[in-house]
């Protein structure tokens, strides 16, 4: 009996020592793990280990972009009408109106670039190897609202990409100086070498992009695709999602390109003159070179590097560009037409079967006022919850739920003076998803999914 008792006590002590030993080992490993410094190499290597996850969490906590105020962006993005209404009411309170950051304030903060990038929370490293190995070029045409430009740059910035900024010659000197100050803080962001005085609906808008395209081709960055933006754009996909979408194109381009409506033909059938504005003359133009059929589209495109190269060397492309310089709003047909020219890299045949509307192309998501309505009755999209400018929706918070379910890379238009909450929620959403690869909520809640938004306006 005594021997058996001694054996039990012995095994009991051994068991206790074993438990304490395991606990001590666990605590030692945990403390060692917690004391490790995060190496950027661990973040971008696709190892999938615990250290990588821990480092990403640490960097996210430093670089997250939480929206201001009491609003719940996760609820707004899920389409929660009560949260949207509450925040829309907040927009109506004068004391809560957005105050823009001025040109002078940007000039001051960019005096120390390290402080600027730290305060504005730029992500200065690639988040994964796939992104690192697939650089993208951006042509950014801007003319005012320095804060909106800088927030757009921050949203799309990645160190492996390259960014050309075309600043309108008409812009105030303070804006030009602030834009140059911002770009000077980055090795891969620069102001275009040739600047245009951009006149609405004139060739100068296309030339601004061409100037950037030419500069970007001279860059040491071997970018794969080019996307062009303006100051009222904002991304609705992370850089990782954009890379995946571009890789899936497999060398093709993506843009709106359709048979034009009859009323638009006057835009290229007559010669136009422009100085401070554009004026139609009574002089009729000849047909486009080689009788190339004209297609209607958008100023905003997703095109391969080879497509961009061809604009400066392909004889048919160069002839069409020269012919279009005295037409009205050539930005809304020149790219769409080049996309259908045989021999242009990534082209689509001119047969109507290959027509692509703005809904099907991935370049830009736009809500046209005349097409808004009840989707249950066949409208392509719900009513705008912001306001309208030139018959285009300037988005409000109530548009985010619908917007983020679309396949487009960017959306247009945004304006912080109309609804800064919408932009803030997008910033919070995109930054979180960039680091974690998923939305702030793993699943969309399906409440109010396709309910009309008219009651919110």
Structure confidence at residue 90 (pLDDT): 78
The first and second tokens of residue 126, run together, are 């690639």
Structure confidence at residue 228 (pLDDT): 98
Torsions phi, psi for 166 (to 5 deg): -95, 115
Dist CA 142 CA 140 (whole Å): 6
Structure confidence by residue, pLDDT tens digits, 301-346:
999 999 999 999 999 999 999 999 999 999 999 999 999 999 999 9
Residue 342: Cβ within 10 Å count = 10
Could you tell me the residue ranges of all domains in the chain?
27-63, 73-97+364-457
The first and second tokens of residue 259, run together, are 């048979």
Structure confidence at residue 35 (pLDDT): 43
The first and second tokens of residue 28, run together, are 């030692």
Q: Are the C-beta atoms of residues 124 and 114 closer than 8 Å to each other? A: no
Q: Please work out, in degrees rounded to the nearest 5, the angle formed at the alpha carbon of residue 66 by the alpha carbons of 65 and 72.
A: 145
Residue among 212, 229, 195 at smallest CA distance from 312: 212
Structure confidence at residue 69 (pLDDT): 87
Q: Please work out, in degrees rounded to the nearest 5, the angle formed at the alpha carbon of residue 365 by the alpha carbons of 360 and 366.
A: 115
Residue among 401, 419, 439, 378 at smallest CA distance from 77: 401
Dist CA 56 CA 50 (whole Å): 10
Dist CA 265 CA 332 (whole Å): 12
The first and second tokens of residue 160, run together, are 């492996």
Portion of the chain with pLDDT greater than 90, in percent? 78
Structure confidence at residue 449 (pLDDT): 40
Structure confidence at residue 455 (pLDDT): 40
Residue 227: Cβ within 10 Å count = 25
Residue 279 DSSP SS3 = strand
Surface-to-core class of residue 344, CB atoms within 10 Å of its CB (0-12 exposed, 13-18 middle, 19+ buried)? buried
Residue among 291, 303, 300, 408 at smallest CA distance from 350: 291
Structure confidence by residue, pLDDT tens digits, 66-90:
999 889 999 999 999 999 999 888 7
Burial per residue of 282-311, b for 16 or more beta-carbon CB atoms within 10 angstroms, e otherwise? eeeeeebbeebebbbbbbbbbbbbebbebb
Q: Please work out, in degrees rounded to the nearest 5, the angle formed at the alpha carbon of residue 167 by the alpha carbons of 162 and 169.
A: 150
Q: Residues in the chain with pLDDT < 50?
A: 2, 5, 9, 30-36, 44-50, 442-457
DSSP state of 356: B
Report the relative pairing of strands 270-274 and 302-304 from DSSP bridges. unpaired
CA 399 to chain centre: 16
Structure confidence by residue, pLDDT tens digits, 259-281:
999 999 999 999 999 999 999 99
Residue 253 DSSP SS3 = coil
Structure confidence at residue 50 (pLDDT): 45
Structure confidence at residue 48 (pLDDT): 44
Residues constituting the chain: 457
This prediction has a pTM of: 0.88
Residue among 219, 225, 236 at smallest CA distance from 433: 236
Dist CA 319 CA 317 (whole Å): 5
Q: Does the annotation count 332 as an active-site position?
A: yes
Structure confidence at residue 57 (pLDDT): 83
Structure confidence at residue 441 (pLDDT): 57
Dist CA 167 CA 13 (whole Å): 77
Q: Of the listed 258, 332, 372, 428, which one is catalytic?
A: 332
């Amino acid at each position: 009996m005594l021997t058996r008792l001694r054996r039990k006590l012995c095994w009991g002590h051994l068991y206790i020592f074993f438990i304490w030993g395991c606990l001590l080992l666990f605590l030692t490993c945990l403390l060692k793990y917690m004391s490790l410094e995060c190496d950027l190499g661990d973040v971008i290597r696709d190892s999938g280990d615990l250290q990588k996850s821990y480092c990403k969490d640490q960097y996210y906590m430093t670089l997250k972009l939480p929206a201001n105020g009491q609003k719940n962006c996760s609820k707004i993005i899920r389409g929660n009408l009560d949260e949207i209404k509450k925040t829309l009411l907040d927009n109506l309170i004068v004391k809560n109106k957005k105050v823009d950051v001025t040109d002078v304030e940007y000039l001051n903060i960019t005096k120390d670039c390290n402080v600027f990038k730290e305060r504005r929370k730029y992500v200065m490293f690639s988040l994964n190897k796939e992104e690192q190995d697939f650089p993208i070029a951006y042509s950014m045409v801007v003319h005012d609202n320095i804060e909106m430009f800088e927030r757009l740059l921050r949203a799309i910035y990645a160190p492996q990409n390259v960014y050309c900024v075309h600043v309108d010659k008409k812009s105030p000197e303070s804006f030009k100086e602030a834009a140059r100050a911002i770009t000077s803080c980055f090795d891969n962001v620069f102001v275009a070498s040739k600047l245009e005085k951009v006149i609405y609906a004139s060739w100068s808008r296309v030339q601004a992009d061409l100037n950037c395209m030419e500069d970007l081709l001279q860059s040491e960055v071997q970018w794969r695709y080019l996307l062009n933006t303006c100051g009222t754009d904002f991304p609705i996909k992370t850089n990782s999602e954009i890379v995946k979408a571009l890789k899936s194109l497999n060398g093709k381009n993506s843009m709106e390109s359709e048979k034009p409506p009859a009323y638009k033909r006057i835009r290229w059938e007559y010669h136009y003159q422009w100085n401070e504005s554009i004026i139609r003359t009574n002089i009729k133009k000849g047909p486009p070179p080689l009788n190339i059929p004209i297609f209607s589209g958008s100023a905003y495109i997703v095109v391969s590097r080879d497509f961009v190269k061809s604009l400066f060397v392909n004889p048919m492309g160069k002839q069409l560009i020269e012919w279009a310089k005295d037409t009205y709003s050539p930005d809304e047909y020149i790219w769409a037409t080049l996309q259908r020219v045989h021999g242009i890299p990534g082209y689509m045949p001119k047969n109507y079967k290959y027509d692509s509307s703005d809904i099907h192309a991935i370049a830009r998501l736009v809500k046209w006022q005349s097409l808004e309505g009840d989707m249950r009755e066949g409208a392509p999209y719900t009513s705008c919850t912001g306001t309208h400018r030139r018959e285009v929706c300037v988005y409000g918070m109530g548009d985010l739920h619908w917007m983020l379910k679309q396949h487009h890379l960017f959306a247009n238009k945004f304006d912080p003076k109309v609804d800064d909450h919408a932009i803030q929620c997008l910033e919070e959403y995109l930054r979180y998803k960039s680091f974690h690869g998923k939305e702030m909520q793993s699943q969309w809640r399906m409440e109010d999914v396709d309910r009309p938004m008219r009651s919110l306006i």
